Amino acid sequence: MDTLIRNIPSRVSRAALLGTVATVLFSNIGTVSAGPAEIAARMHNRIAGVPPSATVLSQMVTMVQANDLNGAALLATQNPNFYNVQLKTFVTPWTNRDQTVFAPLNDYTATVIGMVRDDLDFSTALSDDILYTVNSSGLPAPSISGNDHYATAETNGVDLSTTLKRTTQSATYGLPVAATAGLMTTRGGASAFFVAGTNRAMFRFTMMNHLCHDMEAVQDTTRPSDRIRQDVARSPGGDSRIFLNNCVGCHSGMDPMAQAFAYYNFDATSGALQYTANMVQPKYLINSDNFKQGFVTPNDAWENRWRAGPNAVLGFSGSLPGSGNGAKSLGQELAASDAFAQCQVTKVFQAVCFRAPQTQNDLNAIAATKASFKSGYNLRKVFAATAAYCSGS
Amino acid sequence: MRCAQLSPASRKAAKPVRLGRTAAGWLRHAGAMVALAVLAACSAGGPSTSVNQPTSSTSTANSYTGPAAANADVQAFKVNLWENIRVSSKCGGCHHEGGQAPMFARSDDVNLAYQAAGPLVSFTQPDQSELVLKVSGGHNCWVSDPKACGDTMLTWIKAWVGAGSSSTTGIQLQAPPSQSVGGGKQFPVNATDTGTTGASFAATIWQPILSQFCSNCHRATAQTPQQPYFAPTQAEVAANANLLQDAFVAAQSKIDLNSPDQSRFVVRLRDESHNCWVIPPGTVPDCAGSAAKMLAAIQAYAGGIAVTQVDQNLVLSKALSLKQGTIASGGNRFEGNLVAKYEFKTGTGTTAYDTSGVSPEADLTLSGAVTWAGGWGINVAAGGKAQASTAASSKIADMIKSSGEFSIEAWAAPANVAQNDAYIVSYSGSATTRNATLGQHSMQYEGYVRSDKTNTNGSPPLQTAAANMNAQAALQHIVLTFDPVNGRKLYVNGKFTGDVDKTTGGSLANWDDTFALVLGNETTGNRQFLGLIKFVAIHSRALTADQVAQNFAAGVGERYFVLFDVSGLSGVPQSYIMFTGSVYDSYAYLFTNPTFVSLDPNAVPASIPIKGMRIGVNGVLSLPGQSYSTINTTLGGSTYSAQNGQLLSSVGAVVASDKGVDTDLFFLSFDQFGSKSHVFTDPSAVVVTPTTTTNPTSADLGVKTFGEINATMSVITGVSMTNAAVNTAYMSLQQSLPPASDLSAFVASQQTAIAQLAVAYCTALVDTAASRDALFGTGLDASINATASSFFGVSPNYATNRTDTTGVNTAHRGIVITALVNAAGSTANPNTAAAITTELNGLMNDLPSITGQGSITVSAVTKASCEAVLGSAATTLK
C-alpha cells in the first residue's frame, strides 16, 4: 500500500482510504453478536494485547463454552505479550513523575512484571526485599547507579516472561535489608521520587499509584499540624488562610508519613540511591526559616494520622500499629489498606475494560474481585477475573 | 511631651518590676509577686489615653551653651536623646527649665536634664521606659500616630543606653485576669447590630455620647485629631457610613463588655476626669454624671449581648486575650547607624512613619492597593506602593554618601515566587535611574546599587543564585549591604547567600539626593512587588554578618507571653500553660513554646498526666492548625523545674483569628488533665457511595495501545519486533501511536502512525522471502514481481458488484486473503472474516484499476492487503 498511497495525490485521499477500511471493519464488528470464539479472542486481545494463536483460541473457546471464562483468561495471561507489552504499559506510568507510558523499562516495572508472573503476594510490593533482573545474554549487569541493564533488555526485545529472575535489592544493590521497601526502593522508583525535592514525592506518587488517591482527594485539615516540617510556609505571601485552608490539609497527614523516607536520597550525580542509616537527609531540613517553629525531622519514625478522621475510609489494617520506622513498615501500612486492594483492582478494571466502573454491576464485580484479591494478593488473577467480566456476552 | 503630669506615684505604678532575663527566670524572684498583682489591677479596661493639651512654645533648642557633660554617659544622653527631645516641638516645649516637672528636656544644663531623665528611662527594659509609655499612650505625640512617637523615643533611648542593653532585659510576667471560657461576651460584627435589649453601639453609645461629646478630638477631621477615632460626627457618618464601622472597631478596646464599669470610657471620665461634659447645660463639667451616663449606655449595650457558650463537657483552662499577656521584648537589634526605619505599627491611615529618630522623618505615604496587615506590616497588591517625599528621602543620600556604605534591611513575604522585577525597597528616580534597590526576581533576590562601578541604574544587579531558590513565599529577612571594598552582599534569613559581587565596591559619590524612597514598587509604578512588608530599615553602614544575624534573630512583630490558668485542673497553685503568642499576619496568631509553669516557686506538680491540648478562640475549637493535640506527657519529675517550668512542645501553632486581636479570647482544651478527661471525637469518615448508571456511557471497545499494536503486527506478520527496519519505524512512531485505550481519545494522526508502522511490517514481510513464505506459503514467490492484475485477476464488474468473481483468480487471492484473515485471528468472528475478505477483494480490484497503476505488482498489492489488515479496526481494536 505504500506505493499506492504515494501515488494518490492528496494526503486527504490517503487518509480517507485508510479511514474507509477502518470504518467498514469497525462497523461490522459493532453489529455482530458475540460467540464463544469472539469472547475468547476478545479476552486474549485485552489481556495480551495481541490476537491468540489458533491453538490457544481453540483452547480458550473450549473453556468459554464450558463457562470457564476465568480459566480462559488465565490461559491468555500465559502469552508473553501480557508481560512484555500489557504489564509494561500498565506499570510504566507509575515509575516517573510525568506518568508517561513512553519510558524505558526499569527495575520498578520489571519487578511488578516478575511478581505478577510468579503469582507473588502483591501486598509485599511496597515492603519486600525484592528485585527482578533479566537473565539474558548481552546485557550490562544490573546496577544501582544505572538503568542500562533494563533499557538494553527492552531494546534487545528480550522476552520478560521467560527471562525475569527473582533476586533481592540487598544482594544486587547492596542496600541494607531493613532499607528495602519493595518498589519504592527500586532504582526506578528512587530516581523518580527520591531525587531532589523533599521526598514527599515518593509518598504522593505512591498514594496515587497504589492507593489511587492524589493529595487533593485526601485533604483533611482537621489533623494535628505538629509534624509539618519547617519548609512549609505557614503564611504564604502573608496569608495564613492559605495554610490553614489548604496546605495543612495535605501536609498534616503527608509529612508524618513521608518521614519514613528521611534516610533516602537519589543522588543525580552518581545516579544511585543513597541510604544513610540513622542520619536524616539534608533535604528534610531545607528552607527551615520558612517556619522556624515547624517540625524538625529527627529520624525516620512515621505515623499514620489518617487512621482517624475522614481518611479512615482508606481502610488501614487494624492488625498493624499505624506507626513505625522507615519505608518498609510504611509500605506494609499502605499495602495492607483496603484502598490499596481497591486501587489495584480498579486500575486493572480500567486497563482491561477501558473505562472506570460505572454501573452497579461494575462495582459489584470490583468488590468481588477485590475480596478474592485480598486472599493472596494475586494480581494476575485480577487481570483474568476482570477480563472475564468484561468479555462481553 | 508638653505638659506631662508625671507624678512620682504614677511613675512607680507604671514601672514594671523585673524578675529576671527571661520568662523562665521569673520564679527566682518570688518577692515580685505582689507587684504583679498591682500591675494586673492597673491593666484592666484597656490601654490608657492622655489628654492633648494646647501647645505653646516656651523653649527653643538653640545651640547649647551650658555646662559640659559631666561624664561619658551624660554625653551619650546628650547626643542620642536630649538633643532630639529638647526642641520646642517635642518635649522641650513643656519640660524645659522652669517649666513642667520633670524638667528632663531643659536646655540650660544637660547634667540636670540627665538627672531628671534618669527615673523616666529603664536601662534594662527600654521599651518600658516612662518616656516611651507616655508618648506611645498618646501624650503629646508630635505626629498623629502615638505608636510612631513611642518607637522613635525608644530608638533614641536605646541609642543612649547602648544597643546591648536589652540583651539583659528582664521579662515581667503578669498574672492574667481570671476569665472563664465562653464567659466573655464578644462584640457583634456591625456597629448597628442590636442585642436582646435592642441596643446597638451606634444607637446607644456613639450617637448619644461619642458623637456629642468626644468628636472635638477623637475623629480624623478634628482640628486637633486624637487617636483613636471613635467619634465621627453624625454628619460625617451620614456622608460615609464606613466611618461608623471604623469608629466601632476603634471603640472596642475602650469598652469592656464583661465588666462595663471597667471600660476605659468609664474609667477615663470617672477616675481621671478626662474631658467630662456638663450636665445639665450651663453648669460645670460633671465627671460623675458623665461617667454614669457612659456606664449606663455600655451596660445597656453589653446587657443585650449573649455570653458565648462553650461545650461544658470540655476540660478547659481559663481564657484570655493576646494582649492580656505580658509583652515579650523583642531580641536585641543592631541599629547603631540608622537612617530610616519603618515598623508599620500604625495600622490605620495612609502614613507609615519613619521611626528611626533621624530627622527629617521620611514618612511613607501609602497609595494604591496598600492595606495594613495584622501584626504590623503592609500588604502590597497590584497598583500599590509606599513612597516618601524626595525632600525627606534626601537624608538617605546625604548620610550614605558620607559613609560610603549602607544596608537595606527588610522583613517581607513575597506573595509568589513567579514575580520578576518586583522591587521591595527602592531609592530611585525612575525605572531606569536609581541609587539602590532591593528586589525579587522569581526565586532570587537582587540588589542594584549606583556606584562608580555600575551605571546610573545600578546595573548590573547582584542576584542570588537561581539554584539556591533563596526567595520563598514566606516571611523572610532580606538584607542588601554595600561597602567600598566588597560591593554588594545579600543576606537571607540571617545568612550570607554566598553570591559575590563581581563589580566589587566603589564610590557612592554619584548618588542623587533628588530621588525618593519607595516600597513595594518603583517610583514610576512599573516594578510591582506583591506581598507583605513587615519591616524596613536603612543603615548608613554595611551591617556585618554578625549584625545581620543578630537582627534576624531579633525577629519582627510584637510578642506576648500568654498565660492560661490551669490551676483548677492541675491542683498546682498559680499554675499556667504559658505560650509565646503573636499576631502572625492579618488572619492568624502564632503560639509557640507551650510551657507548664507555676508562679508559686514552692509548687511542684506531682506526675500529672496531660494529653491532647487544643487552642480555642471565643468559645470555639477550630480544628485546623492544632499542633498540640498530640501532646501526651506527664507534668513533673525531672523535666519540670521551678525556674524553667516544663516545655510541652517545641513546635508552633498557627491559629486562625476570629474577631481581631483586641477581642479574640483564647482558651485551652484538654483531652486529659490530671484526673479530668474528655474524649475528643474526631470527625467521622464519610463513605461516599459512587453514583452508578444503568448502562455504561463509554464504549465497550478500546484501541490497542502503542505496544500492543506493535506486538499485534508482529504476531500477525511473523516479523520480529527487533527487525531493524521495523524497530526503527516503531521507535520513530511510538509516541504518535495511541498511548491509551480510550476510544474517544483516538485521533486521525494515530491512525496515520498505525498505517506507517503497518507499512514497515508489511514491507519486511513481503520483501523477505522467509517471512513471506512463513505466512503465505510459497505460492507467491514465483509471481512476486508479476502484475497483480494477471495474478490475482480483476473483475470488470467490481465497481457495481463488489462480490462479483468474474475474471478473479480466487485461488491466488486466497493465498493472501486467507493467510491474513487467519493470522489476524479474525476467524473468531465470521462477520469480521467476511468483511476483511470483501475489503481485500475490493482492494485487489481497485489497485490495478487506478490510472497509471495497471502494472502494479503482486508484491505491492500483497503489501497493500497486509497494510489494510494491520491498519484496520479488526486488529487495532480490542
Reported as a pLDDT band with limits 50, 70 and 90, residue B258 is confident
For residues B719 and B38, the model is more confident at B719
Question: Per-residue pLDDT for A164 more than 60?
Answer: yes
**pLDDT for the residue B33:** 35
Residues of A with Cβ-Cβ distance to B656 under 8 angstroms: 240-241, 244
Nearest CA in chain A to B377: A238
- Contact call for residues B701 and B878 (beta carbons, < 8 A): yes
Nearest to B52 by CA among B150, B145, B140, B143: B140
| Cross-chain residue pair A89–B705, CB shorter than 8 Å | yes
| Cross-chain residue pair B711–A289, CB shorter than 8 Å | no
Residue B718 sits at φ, ψ, to 5 deg, of 80, 0
Question: Per-residue pLDDT for A314 more than 60?
Answer: yes
**pLDDT for the residue B171:** 55
d(Cα A203, Cα A262) in Å, to the nearest integer?
12
What is the per-residue pLDDT across B410-437, written as a single tens digit (0 to 9) for each?
Answer: 999 999 999 999 999 999 999 999 999 9
pTM exceeds 0.90 for this model: no
Task: Return mean pLDDT, chain B.
Answer: 86
Question: Per-residue pLDDT for A26 more than 60?
Answer: no
Does an H or E element contain B548, and which? helix B545-554
Give which of A226, A287, A291 to mutate to test B binding, by max B Cβ within 10 Å: A226
What is the per-residue pLDDT across B443-485, written as a single tens digit (0 to 9) for each?
Answer: 999 999 999 999 999 999 999 999 999 999 999 999 999 999 9
Provide the 3-class DSSP secondary structure of residue B76: helix
- Contact call for residues B97 and B103 (beta carbons, < 8 A): yes
When CB atoms are compared, the residue of A19, A35, A89 closest to B751 is A19
- How many angstroms separate the CA of residue A177 from the nearest CA in chain B? 32
**pLDDT for the residue B25:** 37
Distances in Å between the alpha carbon of B580 and those of A241, A272, B322, B326, B589? 21, 45, 10, 9, 10
Provide the 3-class DSSP secondary structure of residue B519: strand
Secondary structure E strands in B262-359? 315-316, 320-321, 326-328, 338-342, 351-352
- How many angstroms separate the CA of residue B623 from the nearest CA in chain A? 5
d(Cα B81, Cα B84) in Å, to the nearest integer?
5
Residues of A with Cβ-Cβ distance to B828 under 8 angstroms: 37-38, 40-41, 51-52, 57, 61
**pLDDT for the residue B16:** 32
Reported as a pLDDT band with limits 50, 70 and 90, residue A143 is very high
- Contact call for residues B415 and B531 (beta carbons, < 8 A): yes
- Contact call for residues B284 and B278 (beta carbons, < 8 A): yes
- How many angstroms separate the CA of residue B559 from the nearest CA in chain A? 14
Provide the 3-class DSSP secondary structure of residue B251: helix
| Cross-chain residue pair B748–A19, CB shorter than 8 Å | yes
Residues of B with Cβ-Cβ distance to A244 under 8 angstroms: 587-588, 624-625, 654, 656
Residues of A with Cβ-Cβ distance to B692 under 8 angstroms: 358-360, 362-363
| Cβ–Cβ contact A312 with B under 8 A | yes
d(Cα B561, Cα B174) in Å, to the nearest integer?
9
d(Cα B182, Cα B621) in Å, to the nearest integer?
11
Question: Per-residue pLDDT for B655 more than 70?
Answer: yes
User: How many whole angstroms from its chain centre is CA B438?
Assistant: 19
The stretch B237-258 carries a mean pLDDT of 86
Does an H or E element contain B754, and which? helix B748-767
When CB atoms are compared, the residue of B627, B685, B701 closest to A310 is B685
**ipTM score of complex:** 0.91
Q: Helices (DSSP H) in chain A: which residue ranges? A: 2-7, 11-31, 36-48, 54-65, 69-76, 80-81, 88-91, 107-117, 148-155, 160-163, 169-173, 187-193, 200-210, 240-242, 248-258, 326-335, 338-353, 360-373, 379-389
Number of H helices, E strands in chain B: 24, 29
| Cβ–Cβ contact A81 with B under 8 A | yes
To 10 degrees, what angle do helices B810-823 and B706-717 make? Answer: 140
When CB atoms are compared, the residue of B699, B864, B866 closest to A4 is B864
The stretch B70-91 carries a mean pLDDT of 86
What is the per-residue pLDDT across B325-348, written as a single tens digit (0 to 9) for each?
Answer: 887 755 678 888 899 999 998 888
Reported as a pLDDT band with limits 50, 70 and 90, residue A11 is very low
When CB atoms are compared, the residue of A29, A35, A241 closest to B877 is A29
* Interface size, chain A vs chain B, as Cβ–Cβ contacts under 8 Å: 312
Residue type, B440: Q
**pLDDT for the residue B172:** 57
**pLDDT for the residue A393:** 54
Question: Per-residue pLDDT for B559 more than 60?
Answer: yes
Nearest CA in chain B to A103: B735
CA geometry: angle A362, A366, A369, nearest 5 deg: 135
d(Cα A275, Cα A266) in Å, to the nearest integer?
9
d(Cα B548, Cα B491) in Å, to the nearest integer?
8
| Cβ–Cβ contact A176 with B under 8 A | no
Task: Return mean pLDDT, chain A.
Answer: 91
Q: What Rg value do the Cα atoms of chain B yield, rounded? A: 41
The stretch B606-613 carries a mean pLDDT of 95
Hey, which residues 37-56 in chain A have their CB within 8 Å of chain B? 37-38, 40-42, 44-46, 48-52, 54
Picking from A142-146, A178-182, A330-334, B698-702, which range would have the lowest pLDDT averaged per residue? B698-702
Distances in Å between the alpha carbon of B533 and those of B373, B475, B869? 9, 9, 69
